[in-house]
Chains A and B, each alone.
Chain A
Amino acid sequence: MERIIELVEDLDPGKVYEELSHPGSGGICVFFGAVREATKKRKVSHLFFESYENMAIKEMNRIADEVAEKWNLNKVIIKHAVGNKKVQEPVVIVGASSAHRDSSFEACRYLIDTLKEKVPIWKKEFFDDDEVWVSAHP
């Protein structure tokens, strides 16, 4: 299984089909995470993402190992943005390509769920009059 794993300033969603296409793949499933304009009815001005870069890459590779073990995939992509991101900008792209669609759908869901749980990346929400590290407090 080939893998593309990156932390980048700017994600290019237009490249993902090319990145995941493979002669053996009849199905490609991709999830984009994007900046939403509001949290609990409060208007979000932008988000800031930071990572523990080396460990984040390690954990993303570990997730790729896990999906390679669980499903028969040809390619996997895990990319996350860092820095300031405006409303509607993409912040994460995960996807998988496989011979048939079931494997790529299931792997794609696993990729994003596990990334959100394990990878050392942190998001700060900026409001007009406040800023909050997401999930930091109960």
Chain B
Amino acid sequence: MKILFFGITRDIVGKPEFDAGEFKEIGTVGDLRDLLNAKYPRLKDLSSLNFAINEEFAEDSKAISANDEIALIPPVSGG
């Protein structure tokens, strides 16, 4: 599983991506959210934080598989 960080989440985490070998016990997007919030508490200060699995928005209940590409999507601000 690969996790990508964009915008302010990259600044908070300090890198653009990592291989999430250390997160072996993750079952769902919600589990990953809880783990990341615990490790990087500044994520909780954001207006919103969505997740994408393989380039599609994913709810917290969505299961994560070993080969998925996960992305953190902080509030978008294009335009």
Residues of A at the B interface (CB closer than 8 Å) are 33, 49-52, 54-56, 58, 80, 91-92, 112, 115-124, 133-138
Contacts and interface: CB of A to CB of B under 8 A. Distances in A.
A133 B42 CA distance: 14
Contacts of A92: 78-79
B18 to A, nearest CB: 16
B22 interface: no
11 contacts: A54-B55, A55-B55, A56-B78, A58-B55, A80-B79, A91-B79, A112-B79, A115-B79, A133-B8, A135-B75, A136-B74
User: A-side binding surface: helix, strand, loop or mixed?
Assistant: mixed
Contact of B76 (A33, A91, A116, A124): A116
Given A55-B52, A133-B11, A138-B47, A116 B78 contact: yes
A122 B78 contact: yes
A123 to B, nearest CB: 4
B78 A49 contact: yes
Contacts of B56: 55, 58
A-B complex: 9 closest residue pairs judged by Cβ atoms: A121-B78, A122-B7, A134-B77, A55-B55, A116-B79, A133-B8, A135-B75, A123-B77, A136-B8
Contacts of B47: 135-138
A118 B79 contact: no
A57 B79 CA distance: 14
Contacts of A123: 77-78
B13 interface: no
B6 A52 contact: yes
